[in-house]
Structure 1
Amino acid sequence: MGFIAEYEIGCDRLPLVTVAAAIPEATIDVDIQPTQDDRPPLIAHVDYDDIGALERAFDDVVFVASYTHVGREDDTDRYQIEPAVGMAAQLGDRIDDLSQLHDLASTDAVIDRIRVTPTGWVQRGWFADRAVLEEFRVFWQRNGTFTLRRLTRDHSSAEDDGLTDRQREAVRTAYEMGYFEIPRTATLEDVATELGITASSLSERLRRAQTHLVETAVSGPRPARPS
């Protein structure tokens, strides 16, 4: 059963973290280009108005050997970055076993987003099962911090969650509208109006769905409950 997870890694030696710390107002997403080299190039997608300050931050980072501005679209500048050092040298003594870091790259997981923050990386990825995600959690908790922000089943597993169609629609709509955010950005009445049902009906539907999901998580699959 596949999962989509978003989590924060706390490690100030990860690439470009010092750039994000120097210009915390910037939004920096990176793609690591596949290569057999220990120094894979990075594509940085940066949303920040002061290009001069951004490039000065690049200049001040030992990790960056060179960078090329390759284009701008929708207020986002794209840079190709050639590293001066490999991940082993960059992370140094912050990682207790670099071979395990390389092993994570060969697990049944696909990381499709990396956002650089002043304290580490926020990653979003697809994981074949919870055991694979657990490998990431254990490694980064041992070598920094790991904070799970969000965990959902992938769409291919949606029909196996044991919920009725109406329960699944209610949970998905409430989630998308921000009902489960802290603090909430949508009320029970807002979600009920979107679904065209009463707030009391929605409350009952969400309670049944949440109870079933909790029971499934701690006890294994159960039959779907009536909506």
Structure 2
Amino acid sequence: MGLIAEFQIDCDALPLVSVAETVPKASVTLSLQYNHGRRPLFIVTVTGGSKQTIERAFTDAYDVQEWTCIGTAGDTRRYQAMPALSFEEQLGGQINDLDGLEALATADAIIERITVTADGWEQMGWFADRAAFTEFSSFWQRNAEFGLERLTRDAEPKSPGNGLTDRQLEALRTAYEMGYFEIPRRTSLDTVAGELDISASSLSERLRRAQTQLIQETVATLWPPLPETQKQ
């Protein structure tokens, strides 16, 4: 029976970390198209944030050779990006065990979700067994900061929202109980932030990331692909 793991890899050399750092108010998720050889294409979904700031971040990113906006739906935009570096070239300055990095590509595992943050990657993946997970986690423990959030058997049910952090849950619950999500709203973002003793911008980021997580766990899997659009 397989394992499902949720974890963070804190490594600022990972692809697109500079983009996430530039647009902290946006949620950035990444999938890799491995059928493109040693430089797998990036499919990047960005929710929130300024379109101009996001696209300028892609243009300025040292690890992006070129990018194209391939779809939009509300405040969610999807991009295809051609990497400027292979994983070995990108991580070679920080990771000494490049043979081990290459071996991870053939590990008995499937990474189903990658969220890019200013510190690295938050991931959720399926591993065939404990040995496969140990091989993966041991590599990152040796070469970066690895934090395990959850490890369960793949037969165990997981209710929506289990992927939220404690702070995101607290922010959602407080905003809900204070009437922030009601129509019309009974309170403001600043008031809820004051209740939590954080800034309004920090609260906005927590709520956006929590909402994105819930959408990904529920209705996102039922959506058809975003429509094709020309680069703006």
| Fold-level similarity (TM above 0.5) | yes
Which runs of structure 2 are paired with 1:114-153 in the superposition (5 Å)? 114-153=114-153
TM-score computed with the length of structure 1 as normaliser: 0.68
Cα shift at 1:35: 2.2
Q: Shift of the alpha carbon at 1:74?
A: 4.3
Q: Secondary structure at the match of 1:94?
A: coil
* Gap runs ≥5 in structure 2: 174-232
| More displaced 10-residue stretch of structure 1: 5-14 or 99-108 | 99-108
Partners of 1:65 and 1:104 in 2: CA distance: 24
Distance between the aligned counterparts of 2:84 and 2:160, measured in 1? Answer: 41
Counting only pairs closer than 5 Å after superposition, residues 46-195 of structure 1 correspond to structure 2 as 46-155=46-155, 158=156, 182=166
**SS of aligned partner of 2:8:** strand
RMSD: 2.3
Identical-residue share of aligned pairs (%): 45
Give, in whole Å, the separation in 1 of the partners of 2:44 and 2:160.
28
Q: Distance in 2 between matches of 1:176 and 1:28?
A: 20
Higher mean C-alpha displacement, 30-39 vs 145-154: 30-39
**Structure of higher RCO (CA pairs closer than 8 Å, 6+ residues apart):** 2
Q: Which amino acid aligns with 1:117?
A: T
Runs of 4+ with deviation above 3 angstroms? 175-178, 180-186
What is the aligned length?
169
Larger-Rg structure: 1
Question: What is the deviation of 1:135?
Answer: 1.1
SS of 2:92's equivalent in the other structure is helix
Letter in 1 for 2:112: D
Structure 1: any 5+ residue segments left out of the alignment?
159-171, 187-227
Tell me, yes or no, if the aligned pair for 2:23 and 2:49 is still in contact at 8 Å: no
